[in-house]
Structure 1
Amino acid sequence: MADYTIRVYKNRDYNAVRMLFAEGMLEHIPATCAHVLKLPRAQFVLFISFITLLLISRSYLLSLVSLAIVFTLGRRLLTSEFHQYVESCQRDDLLDIEESYMASNNSCFWVAESNGRVVGMVGVVPRSSEVMLLRRLSVAKDKRHQGIANALCHKVIDFARQRSFKALTLETSMVQVASHKLYEKLGFQKTDVRVFPSLFGRFANFSVLTYEYKLRH
């Protein structure tokens, strides 16, 4: 039997929701870093940096240490990119969740609660007169693989179907592989892939995937 319940968002959930979103996004930094290091252009930059440092210093040890510093700075820049994205979201719809999701009959926000703790969240808003947008799906790391994300998605699907919308859409990043598997298992179809619109996104070829779910009535 599930040890969680799903309910509509309340004002007292505000801080927990914002923290859960931040934790969920920032945990993708290592996977993104690994992706960047596999890119030929990133490997070329590191190689050229090492050779340049070696020619200048004539010391393998100093060159390796300097290369480690370059890598550390790169990871910090990547971490900064993620933090900036989180902060932009927290200044956007997550700044006033009541206004963003609870003020309209065609939008809503739910949380999954376990033993008095918010362990999952998801929101939905209209994208057009026929399509709804699923947003901010996140589940606490220690509560995954218990069906919470699946249940939250079904809550959104039922909500959109009850309001006679024709489709449900969402966006997710390329490194959120577990999410891709969940959406595809639920019946979502990938409809678009685009590069994240930032300097980092273009350099790392970091893509955002769009999925769509056709609603049957």
Structure 2
Amino acid sequence: MRLKASRLNGNKGVKAQNGQSILVREFEPADEPEVQRIFYEGLMEMVQDTAFKGLKFHPESFLLYAAMTVICFVITMCWWVIGLLPAIVVCMRYFYSRRVIRGYLKQAMSRDMGDIEGYYMKSPGSCLWVAVMQGKVVGVVAAAGQSADVVELQRMCVDQRYRRSGVGVAMGKKVLEFAAAHRYSSVVLGTTAYTQAAHQLYQRLGFHCIGVTNGYVIPGARQSLLEQIFYRVRHHHYSLTVRNSKITSNGQR
């Protein structure tokens, strides 16, 4: 039987890049409102990330929208369609990105993020931690056992006001320490983020991208025709072999 995570908590703080101390500790019931706030805000940031930044990574969408413009012009023979349609496309991408992500949020809140104690803290081989700076919860990360050998890094979010200060790295290391202590052989994660900083963080922790799924279907998506046209994401699959990680079971590098 795997060791209970609470015995391996190791409440040692680390220094942030601004000199403040970062404490990564296990979730407590009193943390729930802040954890859910950070999770909600982090997910909602993905709306613009997907609707606008993501467009340049999907040339097939550009071709589809261009074809739609040409067809509309041929049918209507109105030049103003060429100027109006791009604005409509952007609005539709925002609308469907928001709807899909809110659907995903609703599903998450009905499962693990609505029952953190039951899903993570009382489940062998799983745990959820919060990052604390100056007494404030500023980040959240979870580990969920997928099999006897694999654990998944989940729900990593950092309060926007405390990013680029080392919080994400500190939380990622906590998951790797947990994996080593519980004798998992690998840690995996998946992300649909287009923001380069997120990918740089995973790579800094030692993760390697092992595949990309284009046109990934997010849980909670309705997959209607319009949704498929105006919402499209890439899902990056990352993996890290624990025995090759610089993190050991006692948390030393």
Paired AA for residue 217 in structure 2: P
- Report deviation, 1:67: 4.6
Q: Does 1:209 align with 2:227?
A: no
Call closer, same or farther: CA 1:201–1:16 in 2, change over 3 Å: farther
> Counterpart of 1:27 in 2: which secondary structure?
helix
How many residue pairs match? The answer is: 217
Which structure ranks higher in relative contact order (CA pairs < 8 Å, sequence separation ≥ 6)?
A: 2
2:197 to 175, 178, 185: 178
Structure 1 position 73 matched with structure 2 position 92 = yes
Please say if 1:136 is aligned against 2:155.
yes
CA distance in 1, matches of 2:128, 2:57: 38
Other structure's SS at 2:113 match: coil
Q: Write out aligned runs for 1:16-55 (5 A).
A: 16-33=34-51, 34-36=53-55, 39-54=58-73
Query: By how many angstroms is 1:51 displaced?
Result: 4.1
Deviations 1:159-209 (A, max 9, x none): 121122212111112514222211112211222322412645787652212
Higher alpha-carbon deviation: 64-73 or 51-60: 51-60
Distance 2:140 2:192 in 1: 18
Deviating above 6 A after TM superposition, structure 1's stretches of 4 or more consecutive aligned residues are none
Q: Residue 26 of structure 2 corresponds to which residue in structure 1?
A: 8
Which residue of the partner structure matches residue 217 of structure 2? 197
- For 1:27, the aligned partner's letter is E
Provide the rounded CA distance (Å) in 1 between the counterparts of 2:85 and 2:38. Answer: 36
Name the SS of the counterpart of 1:72 in structure 2.
helix
Moved more, 153-162 or 69-78: 69-78
Q: Which amino acid aligns with 1:86?
A: L
Q: Report the CA distance shift for 1:101/1:46 in structure 2 as closer, same or farther (over 3 A).
A: same
Contact 2:93–2:231 (CA under 8 A) maintained in structure 1: no
Tell me the TM-score normalised to structure 1 length: 0.86
Pick closer, same or farther for the CA change 1:207–1:89 going to 2, 3 Å. same
Query: Percent of pairs identical after alignment?
Result: 26
Aligned CA distance change for structure 1 residues 2 and 48 (closer, same or farther; 3 Å): same
Cα RMSD (Å) of the superposition?
2.6
> Do the aligned partners of 1:124 and 1:134 also contact (CA within 8 Å) in 2?
yes
2:209 counterpart SS class: strand
Instruction: Give unpaired runs (5+ residues) of structure 1.
Output: none
Aligned to 1:119: 138
1:75 and 1:53 map into 2 onto residues whose CA distance is 21
1: CA distance, partners of 2:65 / 2:157: 34
CA spacing shift, 1:132–1:119, aligned 2, 3 Å: same
1:13 to partner: Cα distance: 1.3
Q: Give 3-state SS (helix, strand or coil) of 1:128's partner.
A: coil
Tell me which moved more, 100-109 or 119-128: 100-109
Aligned partners of 1:80 and 1:209: how far apart in 2? 21
| Partners of 2:208 and 2:228 in 1: CA distance | 23
* Mapped contact 1:121–1:139 kept (Cα < 8 A): yes
